Copies of this chain bind each other. A is one copy, B any other.
Amino acid sequence: MKVAEGKQKFIHTWGRLGANWGINRTMASVHALLLVSADAMNADEIMAELKISRGNANMNLRELMNWGLVHKEIIRGDRKEYFVAEKNLVKVAKLIMKERRKRELDPIVKTLAELQTIEGDKKDKHVKAYLETVKGLKDLTTKADGLIELMLKADESRFLNLLIKLLT
């Protein structure tokens, strides 16, 4: 396989991956393109490479910057803005985890706590089924939150060592 073909496939694969994870397909493609590019790229280059409109490129680049996955780079004597992706994929994974935790997990933990405060006969099987499910899910999200916290804090080698230890 040639490099150009590999890049194409990589962009496609990452795009599909993103779509399964609540990330817009184009945003994931732009990210993939910048990840496999040696140099910073400007909007026109990205538009040409991915065959997308200026508005689309702009919007998705902004969103990638909001996630902290991409940043602007100024090149002296060039009016255009250039974009670079964070290439350390461990950092990338952590940024994504952090963002999703903030956007999704935190609000859910809060909602579940509210949902536990209902009036009604705790002996009634319907009330019981409800409360057990809500409690179970709250416990689970709390645990997931702890795991994410751990992954975000732990440095890579420690985390790897841990994994190895536990898998053997």
Q: Taking the full assembly, how many copies of this chain does it contain?
A: 2
Main SS class of interface, A = helix
State which size class the interface on A falls in: 35 or more
Q: With A118-B1, A128-B38, A167-B150 as given contacts, are A93 and B21 in contact (CB-CB < 8 Å)?
A: no
Q: Which of B21, B134, B136, B149 contacts A6 (CB 8 A)?
A: B134
Interface-located stretch among A43-51, A53-61, A63-71, A140-148: A140-148
Q: Which residues of A contact B (CB under 8 A)?
A: 1-3, 5-7, 9-10, 13, 17, 19-22, 35-38, 87-90, 93, 100, 104, 108, 111-112, 114-115, 117-120, 125-130, 132-134, 136-137, 139-140, 143, 146-147, 149-150, 154, 160, 162-163, 166-167
